């Protein structure tokens, strides 16, 4: 083969890499997806009930996320730490039972009463943690967390299914809830760590219980019942 022809047939690396980069159509498609997502969030933000729910989610996880962390992080010894962990595992089993019942109850009595029950359980749990340091009592109190978690895990999905019915925005709403939960969790761990170091465990639990009570009040006062909610009510119209 002639040397000049062999040179032309030799593969050139830059051509291979050039074909692997994102095309203009891919970049435009990605940009359109981002714009659609932002537009979806703007539409969700126009719904008063969605905003109330997201605010309550931030406050609630602000009050709740650090409770178990503070309890396990306290200087209680290895044996008690094991017992607390056992209580946490028992509470996770309570979640399954409560979750199985929550869907049926939500269809009968509505979403809002069940959610208020879950908020009340979390508030009461924070107070009861300060009344006894016996492992058996703390395990029983931790089971109350299973009651709240089982209700919230099911009813929160039903609420956002009601709020986004017919809009195609359910997944975006779930993402907004996850963001609110993450923000609340971050704030909870940051603040509770400071309070526990500065003032001790009992004041920390009481402060977290008070914050949980705030979420209860906000939800009770401003969140509408979403079962059977019409499209006009979704948009915040009477």
Q: Which domain covers residue 98, as residue numbers?
A: 48-234
Cα–Cα dist 72/129, whole Å? 12
Closest to 149 in 3D by CA, of 205, 210, 89, 76 = 89
At 191-215, the pLDDT tens digits run: 888 888 888 888 888 888 899 999 9
The span from the CA of 87 to the CA of 79, in Å, is 13
Go through 178-199 and write b for each residue having 16 or more CB atoms within 10 A of its CB, e for each that does not.
Answer: eebbeebbebbeebbeebbeee
Task: CATH number of the domain at 53, please.
Answer: 1.20.1250.20
pLDDT tens for 218-230 read 999 999 999 877 5
Total domains in the chain come to 1
Q: d(Cα 204, Cα 66) in Å, to the nearest integer? A: 10
Residue pLDDT, tens place only, 104-145: 899 999 999 999 999 998 888 888 888 877 777 777 777 777
In a domain, 11, yes or no: no
Query: 10 Å Cβ neighbour count for 42?
Result: 9
**Domain-embedded: residue 20:** no
């Amino acid at each position: 083969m002639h040397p000049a022809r062999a040179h032309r047939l030799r593969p050139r690396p830059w051509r291979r890499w050039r074909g692997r980069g994102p095309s203009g159509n891919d970049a435009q498609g990605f940009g359109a997806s981002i714009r659609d997502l932002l537009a979806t969030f703007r539409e969700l933000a126009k719904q008063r009930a969605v905003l109330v729910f997201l605010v309550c989610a931030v406050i609630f996880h602000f009050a709740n996320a650090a409770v178990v962390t503070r309890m396990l992080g306290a200087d209680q010894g290895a044996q008690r730490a094991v017992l607390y962990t056992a209580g946490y595992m028992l509470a996770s089993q309570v979640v399954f039972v409560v979750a199985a019942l929550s869907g049926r109850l939500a269809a009968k009595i509505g979403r809002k009463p069940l959610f208020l029950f879950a908020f009340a359980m979390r508030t009461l749990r924070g107070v009861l943690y300060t009344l006894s340091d016996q492992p058996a009592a703390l395990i029983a109190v931790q089971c109350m967390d299973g009651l709240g978690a089982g209700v919230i895990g099911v009813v929160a999905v039903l609420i956002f299914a009601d709020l986004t019915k017919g809009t195609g925005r359910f997944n975006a709403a779930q993402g907004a809830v996850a963001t609110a939960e993450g923000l609340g969790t971050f704030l909870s761990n940051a603040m509770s760590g400071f309070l526990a170091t500065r003032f001790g465990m009992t004041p920390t639990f009481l402060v977290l219980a008070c914050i949980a009570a705030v979420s209860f009040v906000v939800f009770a006062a401003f969140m509408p019942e979403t079962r059977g909610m019409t499209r006009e009510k979704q948009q915040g119209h009477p």
